[in-house]
């Protein structure tokens, strides 16, 4: 087993250097994400500024979308597409004979991708929250409302759960290649459902409570909604504990489903691909 | 001789384009699952656009900067029509451009007896899978627009229609600015992501932006002409003069994009443009 971890570590390091090697593509991604975020931020800022509703202040809505956008950047790894290609083209055959589980490789890639993106957007986020007084004060208020350590621990747990759910869902989408010629159709469909219901384009707790309850039994809520709401202090304490437990259950069920798809797919797989 | 050549080109353009349409329809209908997936994909995006717009207005208490909920819905649907039309007819020729540059297929495009942009259009797929969503968005746009548009003269409606067309030209021009850098360097591959990031800005009322950004979106990079300016003119949120100036700037933006395309094309070196 230690050999598996060593191999995974090497792959992760290699993937990290590949990600950081294309600095120009990185700069483009950062610029474009910022441009995309701008319209959303100003729209919701105008909505909160016109509001007499105390639920969402202007600062809270702006912070919500900054963290939502950051979480999205961490999750867009292209993992499902590369796994799908490996299956369709038969590249999987070469990887299967290595002395460690094949899925270690895409998982290491996914983690390396997220780490590289944290390195890219982390300093930008720190600069935003340090240099904009309204946002700095808001975050300070959220952190001190409970205890900075508890808030950070809760946020870290929600973020790890989000990245884990994302990894399993993306792998599951890629594994559809065992049964389909083109997996981009289901992937596009998933992206659209993700945007509609995860909390990526509006604060998910603005939906009716019944809808939030239903969504909390799907990975979507944990991929965006939960970490965003924990970051702005709208979910804390006991409700956070309940959601984290439920999220772990959803993650475990998704993992079981993904492993079942993997094992079923391997039985159909032939060396030249599907 | 010279006077007849453009007619020949135009005729061959329409002939080839009608074949492309038929071919695209055949391909799309052969992969019926694609039609269903694209329909569902675009429908869920429509849902998320309306949810985002509607929840924003709810948070604001019914109006945002003078725009009512129904006006915002009309704006969202008008943007949707323009977006879906663009996806149907122009996304494949422009977004396949980097691939054409990498694998040298651009060589064949350049040999066609017409401008390379037209040749790209005739040699690329038409996304007929998005046609249902053109009509869904059109239905929503007509419903909300007629519901909330104040009584206006024919000239307002004409200007509205003209601005919608200009908005489509801006969308096309923006795609050229995002994709044509592929002629300069192969690694400038994020143009498509850039387009999607930037183009969404056009679906918001111009007044939600700070004054400087408003001016940029009206007169420099006229993204607001894609939907916010025509809808704003119809709902009396945008002045005539402002709309006219934005329209002129949209024309300038479109022409500049064509000049940029021709300039970038000079860097094409066949198969591998380096970089």
Mark yes or no for CB contact A51/B210 under 8 Å: no
Mark yes or no for CB contact B40/A201 under 8 Å: no
Q: What angle do CA A257, A159, A261 make, to 5 degrees?
A: 10
In this complex, is the C-beta atom of B158 within 8 Å of any C-beta atom belonging to chain A?
no
Three-class secondary structure of residue A232 per DSSP: coil
Per-residue pLDDT tens listing for chain B (275 residues): 344 445 556 666 677 777 777 777 776 666 667 778 888 888 888 898 999 899 999 888 888 988 999 999 999 999 999 999 999 889 988 988 888 888 888 888 888 878 889 888 887 878 888 888 899 999 999 999 988 877 778 888 999 999 999 999 999 999 999 888 888 876 666 678 778 888 888 889 999 999 999 999 999 999 999 999 999 999 999 999 999 999 999 999 999 999 999 999 988 887 655 44
What is the domain partition of chain B in residue ranges? 4-265
CB nearest to B59's CB, from A32, A56, A195: A56
Shortest Cα–Cα distance, B38 to chain A (Å): 7
What is the domain partition of chain A in residue ranges? 2-272
CA-wise closest residue to A103 among A121, A86, A124:
A86
**How far is it, in rounded angstroms, from Cα A73 to Cα B275?**
26
In this complex, is the C-beta atom of B30 within 8 Å of any C-beta atom belonging to chain A?
no
CA B262, B266, B272, B275 torsion-angle sign: negative
CB nearest to B48's CB, from A35, A46, A201: A201
Q: Confirm if B2 and B92 have CB atoms less than 8 A apart.
A: no
What number of H helices and E strands is found in chain B?
12, 2
Q: Write out the two tokens for B73.
A: 């819905």
pTM as predicted: 0.82
């Amino acid at each position: 087993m230690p050999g598996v971890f060593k191999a995974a570590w090497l792959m992760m390091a290699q993937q990290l250097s590949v990600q950081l090697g294309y600095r120009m593509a990185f700069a483009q991604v950062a610029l474009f994400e910022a441009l995309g975020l701008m319209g959303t931020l100003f729209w919701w800022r105008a909505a909160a500024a016109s509001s007499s509703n105390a639920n969402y202040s202007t600062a809270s809505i702006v912070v919500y979308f900054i963290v939502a956008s950051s979480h999205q950047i961490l999750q867009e790894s292209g993992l499902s597409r590369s796994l799908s290609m490996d299956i369709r083209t038969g590249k999987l055959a070469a990887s299967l004979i290595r002395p460690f589980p094949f899925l270690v490789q895409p998982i290491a890639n996914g983690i390396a991708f997220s780490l590289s993106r944290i390195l890219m957007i982390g300093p930008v986020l720190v600069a935003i929250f340090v240099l904009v007084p309204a946002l700095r004060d808001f975050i300070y208020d959220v952190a001190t409302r409970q205890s900075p350590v508890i808030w950070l621990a809760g946020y870290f747990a929600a973020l790890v759960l989000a990245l884990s759910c994302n990894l399993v869902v993306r792998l599951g989408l890629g594994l559809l290649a065992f049964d389909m010629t083109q997996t981009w159709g289901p992937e596009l469909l998933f992206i659209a459902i993700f945007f509609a219901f995860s909390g990526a384009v509006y604060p998910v707790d603005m939906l009716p409570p019944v809808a939030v309850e239903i969504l909390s039994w799907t990975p979507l809520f944990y991929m965006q909604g939960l970490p965003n709401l924990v970051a702005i202090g709208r979910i804390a304490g006991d409700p956070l504990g309940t959601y984290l437990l439920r999220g772990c259950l959803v993650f475990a069920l998704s993992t079981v489903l993904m492993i079942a798809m993997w094992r079923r797919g391997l039985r159909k797989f032939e060396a030249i691909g599907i | 001789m010279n006077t007849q050549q453009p007619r020949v080109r135009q005729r061959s353009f329409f002939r080839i384009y009608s074949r492309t349409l038929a071919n695209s329809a055949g391909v799309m209908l052969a992969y019926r699952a694609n039609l269903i997936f694209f329909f569902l994909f675009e429908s869920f995006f429509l849902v998320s656009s309306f949810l985002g717009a509607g929840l924003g207005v709810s948070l604001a208490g019914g109006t945002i900067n003078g725009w009512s909920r129904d006006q915002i819905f009309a704006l969202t649907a008008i943007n949707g029509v323009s977006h879906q039309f663009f996806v149907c007819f122009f996304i494949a020729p422009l977004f396949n451009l980097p691939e054409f540059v990498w694998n040298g297929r651009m060589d064949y495009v350049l040999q066609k007896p017409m401008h390379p942009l037209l040749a790209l259009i005739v040699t690329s797929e038409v996304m007929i899978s998005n046609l249902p969503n053109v009509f869904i968005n059109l239905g929503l746009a007509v419903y909300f627009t007629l519901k909330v548009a104040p009584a206006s003269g024919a000239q307002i409606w004409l200007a509205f229609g003209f601005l919608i067309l200009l908005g489509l030209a801006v969308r096309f021009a923006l795609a050229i600015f995002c994709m044509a850098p592929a002629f300069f360097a192969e690694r400038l591959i994020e143009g498509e992501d850039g387009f999607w990031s930037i183009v969404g800005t056009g679906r918001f009322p111009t007044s939600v932006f700070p004054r400087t950004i408003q001016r940029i979106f009206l007169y420099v990079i006229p993204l607001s002409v894609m939907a916010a300016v025509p809808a704003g003119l119809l709902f009396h949120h945008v002045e005539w003069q402002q709309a006219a100036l934005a329209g002129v700037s949209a024309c300038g933006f479109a022409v500049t994009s064509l000049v940029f395309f021709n300039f970038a094309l000079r860097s094409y070196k066949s198969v591998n443009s380096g970089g």
